[in-house]
Amino acid sequence: MNDIKLALLGSQGAGKSAVLVRFLTRRFIGEYASNANSLYHKRLSIDGRQLNLEVFDPCSQSSEARCILEEPVDWADGFVVVYNISDLTSFINAKNILQQIREARTDNCKGDTDVPVCLVGNKQDLCHARQVQEEEGRCLAQENRCNFQEVSAAESYQDIANLFTQLIRQVMEHLKYRADRRRYSGSKSMAKLINNVFGKRRKSV
């Protein structure tokens, strides 16, 4: 069984909990208790594979959330960065978060920068009050080599289900790639070790 860990990041009130609860329960619940960090668990089956999904939904007001990128960037296998299309400040914040994910990953994981990320423009139903054009979201995602989707947690389930499914598939591929790379560099160092030990002996005979 694969374990997949995702973290949701974004400004206060962007709709992180709404997006997540929509995915997990198919329902939209207007108001969420938002004074605590939450860790959600769900068992899923994607492409015939059983998965244990854990999603960290930090409370924006807590001090842990403010420093989330200093530690849980190592914890999460993938990120969903949410902004509100009717709030420019939340978009600017999403831009900073994407940059911080990139920087933290470069520092911590020896160049392993391509951690799967999906940028989500939520509250698409509020397009009459739009402050961020869809194209701006798409461009930001392209610059950061991540997926992009505008959604409305209030109105629709399918787009949200698709974006999580796609992200989880990418995370599974990324984890497999990292495991293969570790195995490969492990077998290279084993070959080196064997050469060092037996190669030298053979020479001395």
Binding residues for ligand GTP, rule: CB under 6 A, are: 10, 12-18, 30-32, 34, 59-60, 122-123, 125-126, 152-154
Least spacing, CB of residue 161 vs ligand GTP, in Å: 15
Measured CA to CA, the distance from residue 124 to residue 14 in angstroms comes to 11
In the complex, least distance from residue 87 CB atom to ligand GTP, rounded to whole angstroms = 10
Nearer to ligand GTP, 32 or 174 (CB): 32
Residues in Cβ contact with 157 at an 8 Å cutoff, skipping those fewer than 6 apart: 22, 23, 26
β-pairing, 2-10 with 49-57? parallel
Comparison of 51 and 94: residue with beta carbon closer to ligand GTP:
94
The distance of closest approach from Cβ of residue 39 to ligand GTP in the complex, given in angstroms and rounded to an integer, is: 14
**Shortest Cβ 63–ligand GTP spacing (Å):** 13
In whole angstroms, give the CA distance from residue 138 to residue 151.
13
CA gap 32, 186 in Å, rounded: 46
Shortest distance, position 79 Cβ to ligand GTP, whole Å = 14
**Containing H/E element for 96?**
helix 88-108
Give 137 or 172: the residue with its C-beta nearer to ligand GTP: 137
Residue in the structure block whose two tokens are 């999904």: 53
- The answer to whether the CB of 171 falls within 8 A of the CB of 114 is no
Nearer to ligand GTP among residue 129 and residue 190 (C-beta)? 129
How would you classify residue 110: left for phi > 0, otherwise alpha for psi between -120 and 50, otherwise beta?
Answer: left
Closest approach of ligand GTP to the CB of residue 115, in Å? 21
Nearer Cβ to ligand GTP (12/106):
12
Residues 186 and 175: their CA atoms lie apart, in Å, by 16
Closer to ligand GTP at the Cβ: 51 or 78? 78
